[in-house]
Amino acid sequence: MKNIIVYYFVAIVPVAIIFLLAQTNTISSNWFVYSFCFYLFIYRTYIDGKRLAEKGLIEKKDIWKMIVPGQRLRFFKDLYLR
């Protein structure tokens, strides 16, 4: 996922789907919260860590460390701008 357009697509589309399902009352409010928490804590941690690992900034075994608060901010330019 070195391409920034693919990264943004992979990062934004799932949350857009979650909000769309909640807006149309397809999922309950409980499932919305569960899905959103999964997106924030599991999915985005993996996606951000995978991008950094592919760019060679962190090791693949350290992807789980992206869940620590402040790690995404430390790699802000590399994740979102380059």
CA 20 – CA 15 distance, rounded (Å):
8
CA 71 – CA 49 distance, rounded (Å):
10
CA 63 – CA 42 distance, rounded (Å):
11
pLDDT for 13 beyond 90: yes
Based on the number of CB atoms within 10 Å of its own CB, is 60 exposed (0-12), middle (13-18) or buried (19 or more)?
exposed
Task: With cut-offs at 50, 70 and 90, classify the pLDDT of residue 69.
Answer: confident
Which tops the pLDDT comparison, 47 or 80?
Answer: 47
Rg (CA), the chain: 14
* pLDDT tens-digit series, residues 24-58: 988 999 999 999 999 999 999 899 888 888 888 88
Arithmetic mean of pLDDT, 62-66: 84
